[in-house]
């Protein structure tokens, strides 16, 4: 997205990706209404409405049988579609804007000269120079980690296990995304096209935990033990090989390097269990593209500070909201208290679901 927006402004952009597209990526596969609004404003992924299933709201369940449905306002929907399809749409937008795309090109590290990033190194025989380098290479960013700008914190150490299930009769009658919060873990569920159901389990990992070595058994066991989900998934079958991702959290150092901008998960990852991680990425890409234009026009003085301020103003309320929800899930007493609160005041939880979907503005 950053590449597309820059190319539209006349910048020469080369987009390198270690993957060959289309490619799969572990994701909740839902795009909330706020994210859709940004895509439409930027004229990106224009076929998403035709390809994605309508998502009319969220269903949240807690321990002891508490279930609350939160519907988006009339006429407002999100979309559910495979991440490989969304990313393919965005890639086609980039190429159409004039971006030079090179797949299967893993970046090994940054070229640093006189304290400034001046390009990237693909291998021992290939250096690419650029006035601005944007690292949007994910939670394990070779550039951010290689330059000491990122690290995985000691806590929390959560991992995600995701797979697509064939659940007889399920996908056709589901029009909401789901978040099932339990003590010590949570399960996200969403219908996707072609009659499949996306299931993503997020749980802490400890040394000796067998879940990482046998993810299919781990996700199947959690579903089989869950009072609300076990009957629904009793006859379900896993349609794809489960994918494991972790540790999820990434913390960023409070420093920057001229010549380099970070975007997406490479700029920090906070396990957005409220389902708005794509909005962080998409709006963040727009802010990063603006910072790149700033650097190209006026030099690097103050660019990182202005970008940091813009990101903080845009995202800090949601970051605090996500941290509060994650802390709640990690606490047994917190989950019990939230369940009791949902029984007595379900409207509060409905408001939280609308806020997570960016429908309260």
pLDDT at 304: 97
Domain 54-81+155-247+331-361, classified CATH 3.30.9.100, yes or no: yes
Q: Output the pLDDT for position 212.
A: 72
The angle that helices 277-298 and 33-41 make with each other, rounded to 10 degrees, is: 30
What is the location of CATH 3.50.50.60 in the chain?
2-29+82-153+249-324
361 residues of the chain, pLDDT tens digit each: 999 999 999 999 999 999 999 999 989 999 989 899 999 999 999 999 999 999 998 888 877 777 878 888 888 899 999 999 999 999 999 999 999 999 999 999 999 999 999 999 998 789 999 999 999 998 889 999 999 999 888 777 788 999 999 998 775 567 899 989 888 788 999 999 989 999 999 988 765 676 678 899 999 999 999 999 999 999 999 999 999 988 887 888 888 999 999 998 898 876 655 567 888 899 999 999 999 999 999 999 999 999 999 999 988 877 777 666 656 655 556 556 655 665 666 676 666 666 666 775 5
* In the chain, beta strands by DSSP E: 14-16, 30-31, 53-55, 57-61, 67-71, 78-80, 100-102, 109-113, 116-123, 126-129, 133-135, 150-151, 158-166, 177-182, 185-192, 196-204, 237-238, 243-245, 251-252, 260-262
Confidence at residue 315, expressed as pLDDT on a 0 to 100 scale: 86
Q: Where in the chain is the domain with CATH 3.30.9.100?
A: 54-81+155-247+331-361
Question: What pLDDT, on the 0 to 100 scale, is given for residue 336?
Answer: 62
Q: Could you give the dihedral angle defined by the CA atoms of residues 29, 35, 40 and 41, in that order, rounded to the nearest 10 degrees?
A: -160
The residues with which 269 forms a beta bridge, in sequence order, are 250
Angstrom distance (rounded) from CA 109 to CA 227: 48
Tell me the C-alpha to C-alpha distance, in Å, between residue 21 and each of 26, 86, 164, 166.
15, 11, 20, 25
User: Does residue 64 come out as left (phi exceeding 0), alpha (psi in the -120 to 50 range) or beta?
Assistant: left
**Nearest in space to 291 (alpha carbons), one of 267, 320, 322, 265:** 267
- DSSP assigned state of 276: -
Work out the number of other CB atoms within 10 angstroms of the CB of residue 316.
10
pLDDT at 353: 63
* pLDDT computed for residue 102 by the predictor: 96
**For residues 248 and 204, what is the distance between their CA atoms, to the nearest angstrom?**
10
DSSP-assigned letters across all residues of 60-101: EE-GGG-EEEEEPPTT--EEE--HHHHHHHHHHHHHHTT-EE
Homologous superfamily of domain range 2-29+82-153+249-324: FAD/NAD(P)-binding domain (3.50.50.60)
Three-class DSSP category at 268: coil
Q: Are 164 and 197 in contact (CB under 8 A)?
A: yes
């Amino acid at each position: 997205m950053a590449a597309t927006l820059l190319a539209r402004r006349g910048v020469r952009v080369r987009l390198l990706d270690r993957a060959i597209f289309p490619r799969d990526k572990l994701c909740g596969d839902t795009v909330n209404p706020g994210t859709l609004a940004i895509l439409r404003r930027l004229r990106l992924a224009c076929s998403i409405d035709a390809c994605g299933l309508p998502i009319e709201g969220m269903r949240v369940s807690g321990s002891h049988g508490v279930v609350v449905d939160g519907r988006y306002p009339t006429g407002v929907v999100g979309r559910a579609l495979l991440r490989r399809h969304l990313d393919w749409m965005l890639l086609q937008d980039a190429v159409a804007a004039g971006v030079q795309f090179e797949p299967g090109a893993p970046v090994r590290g940054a070229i640093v000269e006189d304290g400034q990033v001046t390009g990237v190194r693909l291998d021992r025989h290939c250096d690419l120079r650029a006035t601005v380098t944007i690292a949007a290479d994910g939670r394990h960013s070779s550039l951010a980690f290689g330059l000491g700008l990122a690290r995985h914190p000691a806590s929390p150490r959560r991992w995600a296990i995701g797979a697509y299930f064939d659940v007889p009769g399920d996908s056709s009658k589901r029009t909401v995304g789901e978040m099932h919060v339990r003590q010590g873990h949570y399960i996200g569920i969403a219908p996707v096209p072609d009659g499949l159901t996306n299931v993503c389990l997020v749980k802490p990992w400890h040394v000796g935990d067998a879940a990482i070595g046998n993810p299919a058994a781990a996700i199947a066991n959690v579903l089989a033990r869950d009072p609300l989900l076990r009957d629904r998934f009793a006859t379900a079958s896993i349609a794809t090989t489960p994918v494991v991702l972790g540790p999820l959290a990434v913390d960023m150092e409070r420093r920057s390097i001229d010549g380099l901008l970070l975007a997406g998960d490479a700029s920090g990852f906070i396990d957005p269990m409220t389902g708005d991680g794509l909005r962080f990425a998409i709006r963040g890409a727009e802010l990063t593209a603006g910072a790149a234009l700033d650097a190209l026009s006026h030099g690097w003085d103050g660019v990182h500070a202005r970008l940091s301020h813009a990101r903080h103003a845009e995202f800090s309320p949601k970051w605090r909201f996500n941290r509060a929800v994650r802390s709640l899930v990690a606490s047994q007493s917190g989950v019990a208290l939230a369940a009791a609160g949902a029984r007595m005041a379900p409207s509060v939880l409905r408001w939280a679901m609308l806020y997570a979907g960016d429908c309260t503005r």
